[in-house]
Structure formats: structure tokens, C-alpha cells
Amino acid sequence: MGVKKDFRKFLPVPVVECDGVTYSLNYDLPESIGKVGQFFGVVANLVKSYAWIMSMGSDGLRQASGVGGA
């Protein structure tokens, strides 16, 4: 993540830092927004869509979409 120097203090922790030789994690940012949870994307939406499609079956899906159904 890239930010301007003024906003560095608000980054979520830990921040990866390099002293020129080694990398380390810095948790010492008093004004940080804290840790940020994992982002699982749209998995829940995909599961709901898949469950709906499977529950409709091929005939029900055709009818609901208006393609080849009456």
C-alpha cells in the first residue's frame, strides 16, 4: 500500500519496514487504525447464487430467465 508521508501514521499495523539490510514488522504506530481483517471477497454472494441456481434446476432457471420458458 502506498500513501503520502503525512498519512503513514494511520496505516493498519503491522507495517513492513526495512533498515537497508533486514525487514521487520512495526506494530508501534499509536495513531494507526489497528489491524485489518482478511477480505474474503464475494464468496458469500457466489454461494448464495449457486444455491439459488441449484434449487431452481435447469427448467426453473430457464423459466425464471425468460429464455425458452412459458
pLDDT at 25: 95
Reading the chain (70 residues) residue by residue, the pLDDT tens digits are 678 989 988 999 999 999 999 999 999 999 999 888 777 778 888 899 999 999 999 888 888 888 655 5
Using CA atoms, how far apart are residues 15 and 31, in angstroms rounded to an integer?
A: 13
Using CA atoms, how far apart are residues 39 and 60, in angstroms rounded to an integer?
A: 33
Give the list of residues 6+ apart from residue 59 with CB closer than 8 angstroms, or none. Answer: 69
Tell me the β-bridge partners of 23: 18
pLDDT at 62: 85
Give the list of residues 6+ apart from residue 70 with CB closer than 8 angstroms, or none. Answer: 63
pLDDT at 17: 92
pLDDT at 39: 74
